[in-house]
Structure 1
Amino acid sequence: MGTIVARKDGRFHAAVYVLTPDGGTKRKYVYGKTRDEVKAKRVELLDNNRKGVPSMSSTMQLGDYLDYWVESIVKVERAESTYAGYETVIRRFIKPHLGKRKMNALTPRDVRALIAKLRKEKTVLGEKLSDRYVQNVFEVLRSALSNACREELIGRNVARLVATPSRGETDIEPLDEEAARAFIRAIAAHWLHALWLILVTTGLRKGEALGLAWSDVDMETGLVKVRRTVQRVRGRLLFGKVKTKRSRREVYIGRVALAALAKHRQQTAERLSEPLNPAPEQPDDLIFVTSSGRVVEPRNVNTMLNRILTNAKLDHVRVHDLRHTAATLLLLDGATIREVMEQLGHASIATTANIYGHVLDAAKKRLADRMDRRATGD
């Protein structure tokens, strides 16, 4: 139980066997100026044992704390896809460089050294880590250390004393207006015609579009409620909530996409065949499904797009670039940056401006040309 002992220096201490992050036990000493102070600390440790919560110290290795944090906190409180991403970042990029460092010995210099090493790291495909991924690794570390501060394991978050790594310039390759029109002509006979139209005209993310159910769409007004996403995580198809509060939004689709959806609904009913094989947790009224009633595989959408672009003799772009295409065309048509931010579900207007700054310049030039024509009567 941890007997309280008076020390020769006038203080008191007690030793208690506590749980550790790896599931074992370890003898831990607590100290205080008075017997009551030590008693309170001892009771807290014993209470942690009863709750099954590890009792950690600031001298533990960062790697051990990160394991505890990602398994006991992130895995419980965040989406499974977020947990999978954090676990990979910690295992592959943080622990190999900082895992052996003690929590209370971590310095801003260690964090800056980590960033420098990450810029030389390679992916499993042998490619250099992107600036965006380096920033993601840094943000995972900063988040973990923030939690350690809340748990009073460390007095400061040294990652907050280091400048956030730059994401660099965002490389986007949208279809231009002519190519977008050619793409729309090319998908007219495709069995996922409605999906392609929604992607290229609304800017929904692939997972958001594949996660749409008929109950999310008002077929009279065109109102679409974006509420869920679907993605493959570590071999499993997962349905979950959209990633941020801003991502949970309502958008409108035009009459062309509505007509395509109505036709898709009829064709889906004709194509379905028993027995149905929906994915786990799949909504009963999901819009985009195969003949077996299973959600369309996200990776197959990539393959289908490549085939469409090849047959149409168009430059190859990613599915995500259809989102960029929608945003670019909206801006060129006179939409404000805030309107595009709301449409795309970005967390902030700064994100939208950073990605589409060059498009904004072109849109402003077109507005000036338009005013010139009005002024001259041309």
Structure 2
Amino acid sequence: MAKKRANGEGSIRKKPSGRWEGRYTQGIDPVTGKAIQESVSAKTQAECKEKLAKAIRENRGVPLNHTGDYTAAEWCRLWFETYNKPNIRYNTAKGYEGIIEHHIIPAIGAIKLKQLSSIHIQRMYNDLKENGRMPRGAKQNDKALSNTFVRRVHAVLQAALKQAVKERLIPYNPCENCRIPPKDKKEMTILPPEKIGRYLQEAEKYGVLPMFYLELSSGLRRGELLALQWTDLNVKERILTVNKQVTRMEGELDVTEPKTKNSVRKVALSQQAVDLLVQEHEQHPDNPILFPSPRTGGYWSPDAVSRINRKLLKNAGIEEHVRFHDLRHTFATMAISSGVDVKTLSSMLGHYSAGFTLDTYTHITNDMQRGAAEKIGGFMESATAKPEPEPPDPPEESRCKVIPFEKVV
């Protein structure tokens, strides 16, 4: 697992062979503009850490660019290798690298950093939005890129140029004057509540009921679900600890830290969920993994679990296109609809704020607000209703006369 380190300190990871490798950026190749990566190797983590620190000290002071006059390509690559890549997850890093190499560099990479203007960047965004862009050597793609993807390109470039401002390579960040497209409004797909029973019946037939039941009753991310171990479950308190995830790195399954610090959390479970997990563990009591692969005995591949989800949908006759990640949305939707407050749900999902949860599930909270508005409207209508007028007194002659008792006698 790669060990996160501070900026400029390189990164350390344990290789499949058991040895430890430390990597750091030495400089920029003046011909290709790509970062020059160097590495050290050792038997232990401590020895590797010492070697890495020594190598960085010895190379500190080596000019990253002999003139300091970077092109946009040179700087984006240097920023990615030095400031960004060592401090983010592997899959996130691959995404950033793809954005830099396939979208930013082909469009503005040849422009000198000091000459890069907002108009260059704005034209790139417009071109991505209208025409799309393919890697070098490929034919132009006529398919427009989504607003979400263009915003992602903007986020990467803005971060790179923000660091360039801090390094005093440029006086200001030209991204700040650009207009980016609005967020895409996509209809969220969930597993229809009335079809959950059929779905879980197929999961039981397939032998994966505990895994999919837990997903629908906790909303864990796929990698978090697959990384669970038996020791993460407190059976008595019905509490599940989430502190790791399974990801695929360079073709190999790896257990890493969760997506964010907020992803490390404790999730309360129902008694039925706990009973199913206990039954699951009894099937393989000597395996520490909560859901081991029946084929390898190790962790499930995330892709394999997604394929099982598609099979369950097909076997259950469910026509909706529901991804495995949509099971997480299904849980959240049912929770909100059942009256779970957003702050509690945000904590269960591992979101960084309740505001993010509200923004993600606006379609559900809007329906709830309309329902609340109707209830409040009914209350206010009752409160402001005018009272029925008192009936008028009958005429004088029609009133009953009271006869004294003594006269009656």
Both proteins in one fold, TM over 0.5: yes
Distance 1:128 1:336, change over 3 A: farther
Note if 1:188 corresponds to 2:204. Answer: yes
Distance verdict in 2 for CA 1:74–1:363, change over 3 Å: same
Where do residues 1-378 of structure 1 align in structure 2 (5 Å cutoff)?
A: 21-22=28-29, 50-52=60-62, 54-55=64-65, 59-119=69-129, 120-121=131-132, 128-269=144-285, 285-291=288-294, 292-315=296-319, 316-366=321-371
Q: Distance in 1 between the 2:62 and 2:254 partners? A: 29
SS of equivalent to 1:288:
coil
Task: Output the aligned Cα RMSD.
Answer: 3.0
Answer yes or no: is the 8 Å Cα contact 1:202–1:326 preserved in 2: yes
Whether the aligned pair in 1 keeps the contact of 2:333 and 2:361 (CA below 8 Å) is: yes
Q: Is the 8 A contact 1:333 1:363 kept in 2?
A: no
TM-aligned CA distance change 1:68 to 1:131, over 3 Å: same
Taking the aligned partners of 2:272 and 2:61, their CA distance within structure 1 comes to 57
Q: Give the AA of the match of 1:22.
A: D
In 2 relative to 1, CA 139–296 (structure 1 residues): closer, same or farther, beyond 3 Å?
A: same
- Distance (whole Å) between structure 2 residues aligned to residue 309 and residue 116 of structure 1: 39
Contact 1:205 1:320 in 2 (8 A): yes
Unmatched tracts of structure 1, length 5 or more: 1-18, 27-46, 273-284
CA contact (8 A) 1:223 1:253 kept: yes
State which drifts further: 300-309 or 236-245. Answer: 236-245
Residue aligned with 1:187, SS? helix
In 1, the alpha carbon distance for the partners of 2:359 and 2:66 equals 41
Measure, in 2, the Cα distance between the counterparts of 1:334 and 1:50.
57
Structure 1 residues 128 and 264, CA gap change in structure 2 (3 angstroms): farther
Q: CA deviation at 1:93?
A: 1.0
Instruction: Report % sequence identity.
Output: 26
Q: Which whole-Å deviations, capped at 9, do the CAs of 1:236-291 have from their partners, x for residues lacking one? A: 32322112222222211211111111111111348x7xxxxxxxxxxxx3322213
8 Å CA contact 2:73, 2:110 repeated in 1: yes
Q: Is 318-327 or 57-66 further displaced after alignment? A: 57-66
Label 1:82 to 1:356 Cα distance change in 2 as closer, same or farther (>3 A).
Answer: same
Please tell me the residue identity of whatever aligns with 2:349.
Answer: L
1:367 Cα deviation after fit: 5.0
C-alpha distance in structure 2 between counterparts of 1:231 and 1:129, whole Å = 26
Query: What is the number of equivalent residue pairs in this alignment?
Result: 324
| Cα gap change, 1:287 to 1:160, in 2 (>3 Å) | farther
Q: Aligned pair in 2 of structure 1 residues 71, 345: CA closer, same or farther (>3 Å)?
A: same
Structure whose CA Rg is larger: 2
- Measured in 1, the distance between the counterparts of 2:30 and 2:153 equals 26
Counterpart Cα distance in 2 of 1:25 and 1:130:
31
Unmatched tracts of structure 2, length 5 or more: 1-25, 34-56, 136-140, 383-409
Cα pair distance change 1:25/1:330, threshold 3 Å:
closer
Offset, 1:326: 0.5
Larger RCO (CA within 8 A; separation ≥ 6) = 1
